[in-house]
Amino acid sequence: MSADLIDGKAHAAALRAQVAAAGARFNAERGRPAGLAVVLVGEDAASRVYVASKARATLEAGMQSFTHRLPAGATQEEVLELVVRLNADEAVDGILVQLPLPPQIDETAVICAIDPDKDVDGFHVNNAGRLAVGQDGLVPCTPLGCLMLLRARHGSLAGLRAVVVGRSNIVGKPMARLLLAQDCTVTMAHSRTRDLQAVVREADILVAAIGRPLAIPGAWIKPGATVIDVGINRIEDPAGSGKTRLVGDIDFDSAVQVAGAITPVPGGVGPMTIAVLLRNTVVAARRRAGLGADAILCP
Ligand SMILES: NC(=O)C1=CN([C@@H]2O[C@H](COP(=O)(O)OP(=O)(O)OC[C@H]3O[C@@H](n4cnc5c(N)ncnc54)[C@H](OP(=O)(O)O)[C@@H]3O)[C@@H](O)[C@H]2O)C=CC1
Ligand SMILES: Nc1nc(=O)c2c([nH]1)NC[C@@H]1CN(c3ccc(C(=O)N[C@@H](CCC(=O)O)C(=O)O)cc3)C=[N+]21
């Protein structure tokens, strides 16, 4: 038996088309496009690629894109000043500060400085708190993208056993909260979990956000489970070509034999993250303008 592939690229393309339509409606109502500002500090090559692809996707969705690059040696004050300026800029509906930041900059302080209503990453403590208590806010892109993939496959998730491996503030914790809000029975696992294999085995829905290449083998997975692989790990190609390739946290080749459905890496969760970022930007723009929810953007 071979699992169904969950095509994140196709789901992301569909979401982006919906976001473009909602963005066009916003533009028609308000006489200006929704705007996303991305802040990149330093020259990290991988970050540059993400930032460029976000800017391209933003323009393709009919939104305005503002990219701000600061040198790797930028001070905390310079980053905070830029954030304050973007908070006050009426053309900017969403602000994303690319993480990680260089070591001289306090990430928490920078995230805290972002206007929560423009925090399209959903990392601000106001938005994390809103998610925790079930109030409307801005939800982190990667876990919301995972939830959309799960809803597309299952419809209702009520009563299913979900296991989230990883408890970071940007993926694991918000993922678990979203699944709980969908009435899953949720377990959060992490590096101190005892007998991870037995915990994983319980999962009807398994979300891996660990950051360790191929950490979970197919033999651990419950037959028929839906497996969402958030991990993006660059490893040396085992064929010894000297090239590198991207792999997830799940050992795809063995897991695909056991799971009911599985996301590939690349082409799974990653493309959804960017599509949800655009979705969050239109949601933020509508809320800031005092417009009601746009049904098409609801997960
Ligand atoms: N597709 C996408 O769009 C995105 C992908 N990612 C990818 O997702 C992965 C996770 O990212 P992120 O959440 O930021 O990572 P973090 O490093 O912040 O968190 C990793 C989590 O995994 C846990 N962990 C580490 N080792 C083990 C282990 N052996 N067994 C069980 N749990 C373990 C850690 O536990 P503990 O808390 O105990 O240390 C921690 O909670 C990365 O590969 C990242 O590149 C991230 C963001 C977006
Ligand atoms: N403030 C902030 N918000 C983020 O959301 C954020 C961040 N900082 N820092 C870095 C991580 C990582 N991240 C990814 C987004 C898309 C892909 C993606 O589209 N990946 C493609 C592959 C891309 C490739 O080939 O390199 C895929 O999985 O198919 C990956 C990773 C967002 N992040």
The answer to whether residue 99 sits within a structural domain is: yes
The answer to whether residue 275 sits within a structural domain is: no
Active-site choice (93, 98, 204, 229)? 98
For residue 123, give the nearest of 101, 105, 103, 99 by alpha carbon.
Answer: 99
The answer to whether residue 39 sits within a structural domain is: yes
If you ran DSSP here, which 8-state letter would residue 61 be given?
Answer: T
Same-domain pairing of 111 and 206: no
Mean pLDDT, to the nearest integer, of 139-162?
98
pTM of the model: 0.97
The answer to whether residue 12 sits within a structural domain is: no
Torsion angle in degrees (nearest 10) through CA of 76, 82, 85, 91? -150
If you ran DSSP here, which 8-state letter would residue 3 be given?
Answer: P
What are the CA-CA distances from residue 115 to residues 26, 93, 223, 230 (Å)? 21, 10, 44, 27
Q: 50: domain CATH number?
A: 3.40.50.10860
> Which of 141, 232, 274 most suits a substitution to test ligand 2, by most atoms within 8 Å of the C-beta?
232
Q: Is the ipTM of this complex over 0.95?
A: yes
Bond prior to 238 in cis (omega within 30° of 0): no
Number of structural domains in the chain: 2
Question: What's the confidence (pLDDT) of residue 43?
Answer: 80
The answer to whether residue 294 sits within a structural domain is: no
The answer to whether residue 289 sits within a structural domain is: no
**Where is 94: in which H helix or E strand?**
strand 94-97
Same-domain pairing of 45 and 81: yes
Q: Is 66 in the pocket of ligand 2 (CB under 6 A)?
A: no
Q: 173: domain CATH number?
A: 3.40.50.720
Q: Is 97 in the pocket of ligand 2 (CB under 6 A)?
A: yes
Same-domain pairing of 76 and 161: no
Question: What is the extent of the structural domain holding 210?
Answer: 141-270
Name the phi and psi angles at 115, rounded to 5.
-55, 120
pLDDT in tens, 99-131: 999 999 999 999 999 999 999 999 999 999 999
